[in-house]
Amino acid sequence: MTTKTPRLVRLLLALVATCLAWSALAPSAQAAESVTNYQVAGIIDLDGTLHVQATIGFETAPATFTQTIATRVRTPDNREYRFAISDINVSRGGSPLNAQVSQGPAAVTVTVPTQGMAEPVVVSYVVKGAALRTADGDTAVVWDLLQGLSLPVSTFDAVVSIPAILTMVDCASGDPTDPGACVSYSGGTHTSPQPMFHDESLNAGDVVRATVRFPANAVASNQDLHQLWTLDRAFSAGPWQLAGALGLLLLGGLGLWLAHRRLGRDQVSVANPTRVAEFHPTAEGRSEFRVLDSVRPGHVGTVLDERVDPVDITATLLDLAVRGHLRLTELPRANVHATTDWAFARLPGADELAGYERTLLDAVAPSSGEVVRVSELAATVAPVIPQVQSELYDDVVSRGWFARRPDATRSTWGRLGWFALGAAVLATVALAAFTTYGLVGLALVLLALGVVFVGAEMPARTASGASLLNGLLVLRGTLQTQPTDQMPLGREFQELSEILPYAVVLGGRERWLEALTAADGDAESDSGDLAWYHAPAGVAPGRPAGGAGELHHDGARGGCSVAEPESGMEAASACDRRSVWLDC
């Protein structure tokens, strides 16, 4: 034998000795970190209360260990079982241990100081809420007799005393999220009347879930089951929820349609047109514009869309000027780059003014003779606009075109709609918070919004108002098609001026403006061609002031141009044949 042989033998003996030492120490380490046996004695009362007493044995006890007892368990269908844990006691050898009990949001944690002593520790507590009601009315007591232990368990045994004959017993153990079958369990037999459960080799945190079922009324159910709120549940699209929401939308929509048909439609849906104005022949190829029954442009706009709009105020101002109550004067500009401004002058007029016309006239041209410029209208006219609108609404009612002021009707329905919307939002919040019928609440919100929007269409014209509306539609078509070059000779300016306020509210004003510009057929620059509009001296209405160029009407070409003084070249594109005063 060589010298290497004794060395190899000694190396092998050292390795064997090391392995033996490890194998001798391993059981001790395992024992120090595990529970050798976990024995449960349970009692079920007639009222469903469960008493649990667990005796925990160690070969070598750790310094401390913890056990977590659930107080809430969530189900896959977003419900939650809640349990009341009380009378928690921890003792060893009949003497209480100074265990720490902490209450969390979903569990109670018990921290037990064993001080390294191997004597068994007894943990006891009382559970209410574990007696669950089954679908067929029976009572099933379901509880994790082992749960939340911070140490692995070698063997588990449990015996549960029951107050009545059981109909079923079951046991599952292992991972809390997916437990399997226990090693053995029994109960309800002649040899084993009490439920018994046994399992082995459980990891830290594993459970042993025991189920004992009793016939209906044998043991009372004390479950505390809560439905958890989720967005999907609150706005469930189940058949009943969908049927309720769709049914409400159909019925509510039908109600809104009927309300609008009954209250918001004109009294006569098909009425003979009331003639508002006409082009009356005066000679061959010539006709004059005649307004019938004193229907003013402000009336036209209000009856047409049931509102007093800014365009109605503008047309009223223009009408007052044409009727001789107001003159607009374009003020000279200091230079070509200066901003154009206009002034209003009050004239006596020849006809009577309505209340809203007088209010508007007093604002733009006070009877005191004070000059008001267009640049100052924001300060002088804006404050009286609400009064003008109110008086115009009163005027169309007094003439019998509306039974009630359109703005008051819209206001009433608007308040009703916004109140309904607020109530619908509150109802939706309540339905979503406490039921699965959130879709019904959304249907209520849509219907309330429908009331808001339908309310804007609720003003209704009387039979007279409906006839006037049809007449206005006829006049609108006439203004769009009537030839603009057939005014009586010598009276073109006056006739075209009378048409303009109605064209502003009914449409077609561009063609009548061009006709007014084209009516100036002479070569003279007369700043007073229009009685109601004066341009600066030497500049005819419709011709730019300030010396940049002079506006000429070319009768042969049917157009106009701007002649530049220095170049003599015409810039036809710089002329649009519309009067400058319309910018105001």
| Whole-Å CA distances, 326 to 338, 345, 362 | 25, 6, 10
Phi, psi of 32 (to 5 degrees): -75, -20
Place of tokens 């006056």: 494
Distance CA 508, CA 449 (A): 36
Q: What is the pLDDT of residue 332?
A: 86
Q: What is the pLDDT of residue 246?
A: 96
Distance CA 149, CA 204 (A): 6
Distance CA 532, CA 323 (A): 8
Element (H, E) at 449: helix 438-455
pLDDT-above-70 percentage for the chain: 84
Element (H, E) at 355: helix 355-364
Q: What is the pLDDT of residue 552?
A: 36
Q: What is the pLDDT of residue 76?
A: 87
CB 188 within 8 A of CB 153: no
Whether residue 14 has pLDDT greater than 60: no
Q: What is the pLDDT of residue 349?
A: 83
Q: What is the pLDDT of residue 69?
A: 97
Name the more confident of 558 and 503: 503
Q: What is the pLDDT of residue 120?
A: 94
Per-residue pLDDT reduced to its tens digit, 319-343: 999 999 998 888 888 788 888 888 8
Average pLDDT over residues 187-198: 91
CB 254 within 8 A of CB 449: no
Q: What is the pLDDT of residue 34?
A: 86
Q: Give which of 179, 122, 182 is closest to 156, Cα–Cα.
A: 182
Distance CA 450, CA 427 (A): 17
Q: What is the pLDDT of residue 42?
A: 97
Burial 78-101 (b: 16+ CB within 10 A, else e): eeebebebeeeebebeeeebebee
Distance CA 207, CA 79 (A): 21
Q: Residue ranges of the domains in the chain?
A: 33-228, 277-403+461-583
Name the more confident of 392 and 336: 392
Element (H, E) at 39: strand 35-44
Q: Give which of 455, 313, 454 is closest to 386, Cα–Cα.
A: 313
Distance CA 120, CA 403 (A): 94
Banded model confidence at residue 59, pLDDT cuts 50, 70, 90: confident
Pairing verdict, β 153-161 and 35-44 = parallel
Name the more confident of 516 and 386: 386
Per-residue pLDDT reduced to its tens digit, 395-413: 999 999 999 999 999 999 9
Pairing verdict, β 107-113 and 180-181 = unpaired
33-228 classified as CATH 2.60.40: yes
Tokens describing residue 401: 């075109």
Calculate Rg over the CA atoms of the chain: 48
Q: Which one-letter amino acid corresponds to residue 10?
A: R
Average pLDDT over residues 89-98: 92
Q: Is the pTM of this model over 0.95?
A: no
Average pLDDT over residues 117-137: 93
Name the more confident of 580 and 91: 91
Average pLDDT over residues 192-216: 95
Mean pLDDT for the chain overall: 84
Distance CA 435, CA 430 (A): 8
Residues 522, 527, 529: CA angle, nearest 5 degrees? 60
Average pLDDT over residues 216-233: 91
